[in-house]
Amino acid sequence: MSRATSAQTTTQQLVQGNEACAYGALYAGCDFYAGYPITPSSEVMEIMSREQPKRGGAFIQMEDEIASVSAIVGASWTGAKAMTATSGPGFSLMQEGLGYACMTETPCVIVDSQRGGPSTGQPTKPAQGDVMQAIWGTHGDHPIVVLTASDVRGAFEMTVQSFNISERFRVPVILLLDEVLSHMRENMTWPEPGEIEVIDRARPASLENFEAFGSAEFVPFGEGLRFNVTGLSHDGQGQYIKGSEAEAMFRRTMDRVYGNVDRIALYDAVELDDAEYVIVSYGITSRAALSAVKRFRAQGHRVGLLNLKTLWPFPDFLFEAFGDCVKGILVPELNLGQVVREVSRAAHERIERDVAVEPLSRIDGQLITPQQIVDRIQGWIDEGGRHE
291: left (phi over 0), alpha (psi -120 to 50) or beta: alpha
In single-letter form, the type of residue at position 201 comes to R
179-145-102 Cα angle (round to 5): 115
Task: Return the CATH architecture of domain 3-188.
Answer: 3-Layer(aba) Sandwich (3.40)
- State yes or no: pLDDT of 254 exceeds 70: yes
* CATH code of the domain made up of 268-383: 3.40.50.920
Enter the DSSP assignment of 224: S
For residue 338, give the amino acid letter. Q
Cα separation of 79 and 249, whole Å? Answer: 23
pLDDT digits (tens, 9 = 90+) for 29-84: 999 999 999 999 999 999 999 999 999 999 999 999 999 999 999 999 999 999 99
Q: Between β-strands 122-126 and 108-116, what pairing exists: parallel, antiparallel or unpaired?
A: antiparallel
Q: What are phi and psi of 154, to 5 degrees?
A: -65, -35
202-246 confidence digits (pLDDT tens): 999 999 999 999 999 999 999 999 999 999 999 999 999 999 999
pLDDT tens, 303-339?
Answer: 999 999 999 999 999 998 886 789 999 999 999 999 9
Mark out the alpha helices in 117-210 (DSSP H runs). 131-136, 152-169, 179-183
Of the listed ranges 4-8, 27-31, 33-37, 176-180, the one predicted with least confidence: 4-8
pLDDT-based confidence at 116, cuts 50/70/90? very high
CB 171 within 8 A of CB 256: yes
**Percent of the chain topping pLDDT 90:** 92
Question: What's the whole-number mean pLDDT along residues 240-257?
Answer: 96
Q: Are 145 and 109 in contact (CB under 8 A)?
A: no
Domain ranges of the chain: 3-188, 268-383
Strand residues in 310-355 grouped as ranges (E): 310-312, 328-333
pLDDT at 9: 54
Mean pLDDT of the chain: 94
Is the predicted pLDDT of residue 359 greater than 90, yes or no? Answer: yes
Amino acid at 189: T
CA distance 60 to 81: 14
- Which percentage of the chain shows pLDDT scores above 70? 96
Q: Do domains 3-188 and 268-383 have the same CATH topology?
A: yes
- Give 238: exposed, middle or buried? Use CB within 10 Å, 0-12, 13-18, 19+: middle
Radius of gyration (Cα) for the chain, nearest Å? Answer: 21
